[in-house]
Amino acid sequence: MMTRRQPDRNLALDLARVTEAAALASARWLGLGKKEDGDGAAVDAMRISFNAMAINGRVVIGEGEKDEAPMLFNGESVGTGVGPRMDIAVDPVEGTRLLANGRPNAISVVAMTPEGSMYDPGPAYYMNKLVVPPEAVGMVDIKDPVARTLRKVAQAKNKDVRDLVVFVLDKERHEELIADIRATGARIQLHTDGDVAGALMAVIPDTGIDIMMGTGGTPEGVLAATAIRVLGGEMQGMLDPQSEEEKARVKEAGRDIKQVLKMEDLVSSDDIFFAATGITDGVFLKGVDFTGKGAKTTSLVMRGLTGTVRYVESAHRFDKLMRISSIDYD
């Protein structure tokens, strides 16, 4: 017999306040060419908002080490300290160059899971990733040749390979990957940044992306995996050091670069809370729209235990908000 329980607090809605604050603060820097300033504004707003949450949180996936402050650093405590013990993954501005240059798909994103359930990449900065939609779950292997993987995804989606669109970061390291994809006849969207957004687009319907392939940041991979688990897609990863120095650090830390990291390795709990707010206009999230008297935001909010996915449109009135907020949105 299934055990039922009363609805409890959905912390994902609290996380949406955190990403909204970061998006509102950083959007003032859209197109101004100052990615550090935009990121810094998002971090400051995110930290203030986090510390109002009734959690005992620890940043597992952050922006660096403590000596790189003011960024939200790995190991930083967030929340009031009273409440559930949670692992936190943050990217105050995913796509800082996108924001600085006024390009699409910059987002503010946060994920939260129970303590100990989120993969800690340690010194592994880069990960080779394969992300497929729910239709293709269980059908792919990151070690397979590109052509075989694309045939499997096309079969799952009832498409021809040439109908597929693959999200790939536009980096020199992907020259061979891009050539292999083109040899199959599949099409490619090349993006300079934003592989969390790319991973989400590969899983969310009607984004124009069917699959994501290639190497990006390991922290971004863990962050994306939390959302993909809720959405029912599949992500596989393999640590992919980009230098001999990184490879040595990864080996010293006991990480195995030959291991295929599956969903349960990247996030081992279904008790997931996730929120992302658009900063610049994107495929699946609108950016911040300043109205003169305030702003409008659009957020994607998910809770793993219930599988609930919400799109939240919020209107913010600065004349009221600024009376009580310590964050300067003007």
Backbone angles phi, psi at 125, to 5 degrees: -85, -25
Is 193 part of any known ligand binding site?
yes
220 in a known ligand binding site: yes
> Is 144 annotated as belonging to a binding site?
no
Q: Tell me: is residue 195 an annotated ligand-binding position.
A: yes
152 labelled ligand-binding: no
Beta pairing, strands 56-61 & 85-94:
parallel
CA–CA dist 330, 326 (Å, integer): 12
Q: Does 194 count as an annotated binding residue?
A: yes
d(CA 25, CA 48): 12
Is 207 annotated in some ligand binding site?
no
Tell me if 246 is assigned to a ligand binding site.
no
Q: Any known ligand binding at 95?
A: yes
Residues in binding site for substrate: 94-96, 126, 171-173, 193-195, 217
Residues in binding site: 39, 63, 91, 94-96, 126, 171-173, 193-195, 217, 220
Residues in binding site for Mn(2+): 39, 63, 91, 94, 220
